[in-house]
Amino acid sequence: MAAPLPDAPGAGRGRRPRRTSGDDRERAILATAEELLGQRPLSDISVDDLARGAGISRPTFYFYFPSKDAVVLTLLDRVVEEARASRAAALRRAGDDVRASWRGALEAVRDTFAAHRALTSAAASLFASSAEVRALWSEVMEQFVAETASAIDAERARGAAPPGPPARDLAVALNWMNERVIHVTASGQQPALAEDDLLDVLLTVWLRTVYGGDGPR
Amino acid sequence: MAAPLPDAPGAGRGRRPRRTSGDDRERAILATAEELLGQRPLSDISVDDLARGAGISRPTFYFYFPSKDAVVLTLLDRVVEEARASRAAALRRAGDDVRASWRGALEAVRDTFAAHRALTSAAASLFASSAEVRALWSEVMEQFVAETASAIDAERARGAAPPGPPARDLAVALNWMNERVIHVTASGQQPALAEDDLLDVLLTVWLRTVYGGDGPR
DNA sequence: CGGCCGACTCGACACCGTGTCGAGTACCGT
DNA sequence: ACGGTACTCGACACGGTGTCGAGTCGGCCG
């Protein structure tokens, strides 16, 4: 409301300038949130629960975070970073094999979010109400889409993939498909795929969409 | 809380047995909800707003609906029914042309939800918190998936489509893709497709996935 | 007709969660 | 010893939800 206040250096996404002593409390709040989310949905967790869990009073909570949502956003930020890193590592590992690289990237993302189901559900429930969560998510998806689109363009350029709609458009559709199917499968929503089939099915759709068949050439 | 009270006959989803006089009030609440949703998100609409808009007091609202969410659910129910009907009509109209029938079905669903954006957003925001909304949505998706799967099986049986993963698995992935891309595009979330390209892009993915190319044979 | 019953209505209340304000305490550098 | 800054919390105001109980009103049955 008052000033733009530029991101403080050292803060991951610049939520607040680091303190030295209160750092422990901040961590305690985060840890409490993660633990409670494993037990019940975000809507059943109050600021008071978070504060008590961290051994502080409710007003003190507000010294560290502006709201319950901000806690989840911080947590989500970390997981997103983890997913990005793990995906990048998988891509690096796969080298030139396009099929393997897409499979690896997909697997990395799936595993990261599967390892944080509770948080993922919480983030999903904030999606509608929090512009910050939406923005963060857009940013991640945008990165994945951009990477996918340039991979498709590369395959087309070397004649391995046929022409068709703009690569970016296909990339948008394919990445949102992944997002939704992974989410649905992990959260038990129906209709879903069996966890074991997920990778194969999504990969088939990707390959057929990009190559017009089950692989390059 | 008291008795199971079986669905009253004549009620779409059997929210409550129909009254004769109160019927108007119920309609007024529904109409108010639809109008207010056009102006602001569901979270900024209180039961009091709904009641005042319908010309009744807040306690009286509770005579008609158990909660704000139930109002949205009722509205969603209608739109879903509309989408189903419109989709079925498109399918009937297209006859044997598979490509045309998928395009028509897709278009019908997209148009129905585009015509009720406000409600759709409200439903999306309830998705996380309301089991009923999730169940209704599962039911719709399940129907679409089942129809898609049997269409794929038919194409495979007549030799027009190559074998691959179980038809149902492909159908699950493709239908969730549609759901998400349509939703994202309609709600302005990024990354999205241009509204005009949506149909072509999704259809391309469908055809390539099912036929391993851009069309039957 | 008179009385009852079920449909419907609302004022008042209890409750809960949020966010803020202002009065502290404790420690640090000067 | 002093002033400031980091931190803490009791108490409050607020806004929303859902319920309770006392009422009105109209139809219809005896």
10 Å CB burial of residue B115 (0-12, 13-18, 19+) is middle
Would you give the distance in Å from CA A151 to the centre of its chain?
A: 21
A59 Cβ contacts chain D strand, under 7 Å: yes
Condensed to tens digits (0 to 9), the pLDDT of residues A114-137 reads 999 999 999 999 999 999 999 999
Count of residues making up chain B: 217
Q: How far is B182 from chain A (nearest CA, A)?
A: 10
- pLDDT tens for A19-66 read 456 689 999 999 999 999 999 999 999 999 999 999 999 999 999 999
Average pLDDT over residues A137-152: 98
Q: Each residue of B50-71: pLDDT tens digit?
A: 999 999 999 999 999 999 999 9
pLDDT reported for residue A18: 42
pLDDT at B22: 67
pTM tops 0.85, yes or no: yes
Nucleotides of chain C touched by protein CB (<7 A): 7-12, 16-22
> Beta carbon of A36 within 7 Å of strand D?
no
Angle (CA) B214 A194 A72, round 5°: 100
CA pair distance B79, B74, nearest whole angstrom: 9
Q: Which chain A residues are Cβ-neighbours of B212 within 8 angstroms?
A: 208, 212-214
- Do the chains contact at B129 and A129, CB–CB below 8 Å? no
Taking the C-alpha atoms of residue A27 and residue B166, their distance in angstroms, rounded to an integer, is 46
What is the pLDDT at residue B213?
77
Interchain pair B201, A172: CB under 8 A: yes
For residue A203, give how far its alpha carbon lies from the nearest alpha carbon of chain B (Å). Answer: 10
Q: Which residue has the higher pLDDT, B11 or A100?
A: A100
* A9 — pLDDT class (breaks 50, 70, 90): very low
What's the CA–C1' distance between A31 and D16, in Å?
30
Q: Mean pLDDT across chain B, nearest whole number?
A: 90
Nucleotide nearest to A17 (CA to C1'): D6
> Is a pLDDT exceeding 90 seen at residue B23?
no
Identify all chain B residues contacting A166, using CB atoms and an 8 Å cutoff. 197
pLDDT at B8 over 50: no
What pLDDT, on the 0 to 100 scale, is given for residue B152? 97
Q: How far is the CA of B18 from the C1' of C16 (A)?
A: 33
Q: What is the pLDDT of residue B1?
A: 35
A204/B164 touch (CB, cutoff 8 Å), yes or no: yes
pLDDT of residue A145: 98
Q: Show the domains of chain B with their CATH numbers.
A: 22-65 (1.10.10.60), 68-211 (1.10.357.10)
Maximum distance among all Cα pairs of chain A, rounded to whole angstroms: 64
* Predicted local confidence at residue B7, as pLDDT: 36
Q: pLDDT per residue over A77-117, tens digit each?
A: 999 999 999 999 999 999 888 889 999 999 999 999 999 99
Q: Is B215 on the interface with A (CB under 8 A)?
A: no
Which residue type occupies B67? Answer: S
Q: Which of A196, A96, A104, A203 is nearest to A151 (CA)?
A: A96
- Among B164, B181, B212, the residue with its CB nearest the CB of A176 is B181
> Which residue, among A119, A175, A185, has the nearest Cα to B180 in the 3D structure?
A175
Q: What angle do CA A138, A140, A144 make, to 5 degrees?
A: 115
Amino acid at B91: L
Q: State the pLDDT at residue B21.
A: 65
Residue A199 in tokens: 């990778």
Residue A11, classed as helix, strand or coil, is coil
A205 interfacial to chain B (CB closer than 8 Å)? yes
User: How many CA within 13 A on the CB side of residue B170?
Assistant: 29
Degrees to nearest 5, angle at CA A29 with A23 and A32: 140
Structure tokens at A41: 């949905």
Structure tokens belonging to residue B124? 């999306």
Q: Are B212 and B202 in contact (CB under 8 A)?
A: no
Local confidence band at A14 (pLDDT 50, 70, 90 cut-offs)? very low
Residue recorded with tokens 């099912």: B210
Predicted confidence at residue B216, as pLDDT, reads 75
pLDDT, tens digit, 9 for 90 and up, residues B121-133: 999 999 999 999 9
In total, the C-beta contacts within 8 angstroms joining chain A to chain B are 130
